[in-house]
Amino acid sequence: MEQLLVGRTALVTGSGQGIGLAIAQALASAGARIAVHGPVAGEAANDAIRLIRDSGAGDVRFFAADMRDPSAIDRMIDEVTGWHPIDVLVNNAGIQHTVSLAEATRQIWDDVIAINLSGAFHTMRKVLPGMAERGYGRVINIASVHGLVASIHKAPYVAAKFGLVGMSRVAALEYASSGTRKSGGVTVNCICPGFIETPLIEPQIETRAAQIGGDRSAAIADLLGEKQPSLRMAMPEDVGSLVLWLTHPAAHNVTGAAIPMDGGWTSQ
């Protein structure tokens, strides 16, 4: 894709590794400045910055914030906007605990809701008004197939992701008329991945492997066969490519969508 984001700034939460890093690299390839965020620090943070810069970023800086802390999020947004106004916001930071409803602790609930849902609320409420004033903005929330359908042992995660999809639709409606086709408009969308090849699903693979005799490859096949008809996982880079497309001016009328990337999971 052409250098459509030259002069624009993107904040990607949870972008020090995994899906977030792949998204940051995709946006960098279009020339965007990238505000990197994540729990990584030290050499790991430096490695992420180097990879993003090598992907073509106009500039790269690292910003820290505990996504469970609204005040820390406010400070981070103020710091990023003090550097450059945010044109693209990708709420990717997330955690998951696979646990039954009865066994889920109060702390698990609070952490999952705070990071996966409330964190996105706090970034969006700070960033969207400025996007509207400038006539261009993209908010892309990385939800999940579990923002569209439920699975057992994921009550806090499913609640957070369903909430994220709903909140995104409200924001899309509130900002739908901002900007013009020429300026690009302001859109708010969710991407809803199924199984993506990242460390986040490793606990599920380990649990399934233990159930079927310890064979990891067989566990992955069994896991996919149960849910994802394509029988293949997507890669973080696939999510990055879709995020990048949503930033294009041609996507000005794509808003309020929850786009599955799930190999047919939610079509069943």
| pLDDT reported for residue 1 | 52
Task: Give me the domain span that covers residue 168.
Answer: 9-194+234-261
Residue range 82-115, pLDDT digits in tens:
999 999 999 999 999 989 999 999 999 999 999 9
Task: Give the single-character DSSP code of 39.
Answer: S
Confidence of residue 116 (pLDDT cuts 50, 70, 90): very high
> Among 115, 140, 147, 157, which one carries the catalytic annotation?
157
> Are 12 and 29 within 8 A, CB to CB?
no
The answer to whether residue 4 is domain-embedded is no
| CA distance linking residue 91 with residue 263, whole number of Å | 22
Residue range 153-188, pLDDT digits in tens:
999 999 999 999 999 999 999 999 999 999 999 999
| CA distance linking residue 147 with residue 25, whole number of Å | 25
Confidence of residue 41 (pLDDT cuts 50, 70, 90): confident
Query: Are 90 and 73 part of one and the same domain?
Result: yes
Nearest alpha carbon to residue 20 among 52, 43, 46, 50: 52
| pLDDT reported for residue 40 | 76
Query: Are 184 and 229 part of one and the same domain?
Result: no
Average per-residue pLDDT in the chain?
95
The tally of domains found in the chain comes to 2
Cα 260 from chain centroid?
13
Can you tell me the mean pLDDT for 220-248?
Answer: 94
| CA distance linking residue 267 with residue 94, whole number of Å | 25
pTM of the model: 0.94
| CA distance linking residue 154 with residue 101, whole number of Å | 8
136 catalytically annotated = no
Query: Are 49 and 111 part of one and the same domain?
Result: yes
Confidence of residue 73 (pLDDT cuts 50, 70, 90): very high
Query: Are 176 and 106 part of one and the same domain?
Result: yes
